[in-house]
Chain A
Amino acid sequence: KAGVTQTPRYLIKTRGQQVTLSCSPISGHRSVSWYQQTPGQGLQFLFEYFSETQRNKGNFPGRFSGRQFSNSRSEMNVSTLELGDSALYLCASSLDLVPLGGEQFFGPGTRLTVL
């Protein structure tokens, strides 16, 4: 069974631009969660999608948004990029909603650098 995949793996953008990241969950997994990881803040929860609906949201500004498609694939979008948005963005999938869905499996991440 294929694992969680994320594209692209690396991105370089400039301030003010917007970016879209993609995540394909493990086949059969219906929940997709997104996290931001930085050296200073560690791993922080962005949001969780289940059945094409955002079910939970972390403490991030509205510039961070996402969506989920009928095949459970998910995208997240960051508009008006700031230098502080430079981070490793990780997505994770599980069978059901967190934490009921049990084990979460993570993708390799997208490294975003904002110049």
Chain B
Amino acid sequence: KQEVTQIPAALSVPEGENLVLNCSFTDSAIYNLQWFRQDPGKGLTSLLLIQSSQREQTSGRLNASLDKSSGRSTLYIAASQPGDSATYLCAVGGATNKLIFGTGTLLAVQP
């Protein structure tokens, strides 16, 4: 059974810092992995999708990497801003034909 874990559960950083969010999964036989952000009480906003054949994807200040063999993905946020404050979720798509979500990392960027 696929299990997805995100560490840390919460993170507080000063504005301008570069930071890394981690996502681990137990079954490496995945099809893709997607990163989302969620603002309080709102829906999920898709940030990046990485296919299993890819090693990384970049969008603006965001870079996501994927290492299937070790069951890990990282989301790197450069030069963090207060507007980046949100919950970040990773989700794995695989043999169960549904997305399995991690528990999320609550990020607070202090001005």
Contacts and interface: CB of A to CB of B under 8 A. Distances in A.
Interface of A: 4, 6, 33, 42-43, 45, 48, 55-56, 58, 88, 90, 92, 97-100, 102-109, 111
A50 to B, nearest CB: 10
Interface residues of B, number: 23
B103 to A, nearest CB: 5
Contacts of B97: 48, 55-56, 97-99
A95 B42 CA distance: 22
Contacts of B42: 108-109
Given A55-B97, A58-B98, A102 B43 contact: no
Nearest to B52: A99
Contacts of A56: 96-98
A9 B60 CA distance: 31
